[in-house]
Amino acid sequence: MDLERRRADMNKFGRQQKGYVLALALLLLSVLTAAGLRTGHPAAVEADAGLAGDTEESPSVQTGQKLIALTFDDGPRRSTTTRLLDGLAERGVNATFFLIGAQVEENQDVVRRMDEEGHQIGLHTYDHVRLTDLNRTDFNAQVEKSRALLKQVLGHNDFLLRPPYGMLDESVKAWAGCPIILWSIDPEDWKDMNTEREVKLIVSEAQDGAIILMHDIFPESVDAALQVVDQLHAQGYLFCTVDELFAARGIALESGEMYWNAYP
Ligand code: NI
């Protein structure tokens, strides 16, 4: 009996010893693991710093950020354009406006406001005429006259061109003197001036890098544009000017070249 009890005690002791060894081993392991994590930490910080450095080299490119540009033709028209600017300002959104020279004359304060609030401004001829089949003198009377007027109003001279009806030929490209901006989403807002239809169409066609064509001379289009902003904001889109859109994609706009979108 004594022997058996001793054997039993020894076994118990042995189990306890094994338990101690196991506990010690676990403790040692946890200490080593903690030490390992600490020594590993600087490497992880370096990796983060590397990523941050890459981001700094191309600040405009935020991975996964969906960008889209709202553009408005045929303005300014004081009543509608002013309401649009108010709505865009409330939402912190910048757009691009292709202006009619003849309408700039009487709305210089509206045009200055656009510029001051960070919107981009472009040319859409002086009298909204087709630019195809014009001689150089007539072309200049539409494009250069508008450019000179806007330069006088704003003090700078870096305006994009959108030809009325999107119509252009080799002469237009050669004489433009700036990049030519077309569009990728056209709700044809002038057709029926139906806010609901326009919003649905634009939101359904929206994609990263798109350029939306609208007209800020119609009250229904102003309503539609602001609803589009709210709906696409909810989908994670960031609205930007045409220049910002292409800069974000690393595309340098060239004079006389045509651009429809900045799809990734
Ligand atoms: Ni137009």
Question: Looking at the predicted structure, is the pLDDT value of residue 2 above 50?
Answer: no
DSSP 106: G
Residues 199-208: pLDDT tens digits? Answer: 999 999 999 9
Round the average pLDDT of the chain to a whole number and report it: 84
Rounded distance between C-alpha atoms, residue 146 and residue 125, angstroms: 6
Question: Looking at the predicted structure, is the pLDDT value of residue 7 above 90?
Answer: no
Token pair belonging to 53: 């450095």
The burial of 46, by beta-carbon neighbours within 10 Å (0-12 exposed, 13-18 middle, 19 or more buried), is given as exposed
Report pLDDT for 64: 73
Q: How far is the CA of 190 from the centre of ligand 1 (A)?
A: 10
Q: How far is the CA of 58 from the centre of ligand 1 (A)?
A: 34
Question: What number of other Cβ atoms are within 10 A of residue 196's Cβ?
Answer: 11
Q: How far is the CA of 166 from the centre of ligand 1 (A)?
A: 8
Residues 158-212: pLDDT tens digits? Answer: 999 999 999 999 999 999 999 999 999 999 999 999 999 999 999 999 999 999 9
Confidence of residue 66 (pLDDT cuts 50, 70, 90): very high
Q: How far is the CA of 214 from the centre of ligand 1 (A)?
A: 9
φ and ψ of 253, to 5 deg: -70, 135
For residue 121, give the 3-state DSSP assignment: strand
Q: What are the residue ranges of helices labelled H in the chain?
A: 2-57, 78-91, 101-104, 108-116, 136-154, 170-175, 189-192, 195-205, 219-234, 242-248
C-alpha dihedral (190, 194, 200, 201), degrees to nearest 10 = -20
Q: How far is the CA of 238 from the centre of ligand 1 (A)?
A: 25
Question: What number of other Cβ atoms are within 10 A of residue 34's Cβ?
Answer: 10
Q: How far is the CA of 148 from the centre of ligand 1 (A)?
A: 19
φ and ψ of 136, to 5 deg: -65, -35
Q: How far is the CA of 47 from the centre of ligand 1 (A)?
A: 50
Residues 207-264: pLDDT tens digits? Answer: 999 999 999 999 999 999 999 999 999 999 999 999 999 999 999 999 999 999 999 9
Residues 101-117: pLDDT tens digits? Answer: 999 999 999 999 999 99
Range with lowest mean pLDDT among 62-66, 70-74, 184-188, 256-260: 62-66
Contact 161, 180 (CB under 8 A): yes
Question: Looking at the predicted structure, is the pLDDT value of residue 46 above 70?
Answer: no
Active site residue ranges: 73, 215
Rounded distance between C-alpha atoms, residue 214 and residue 119, angstroms: 15
- Output Rg (C-alpha) for the chain, integer angstroms: 32
- How much is the pTM? 0.77
Instruction: Give CA 6 to chain center in angstroms.
Output: 82
Q: How far is the CA of 129 from the centre of ligand 1 (A)?
A: 9
Report pLDDT for 62: 61
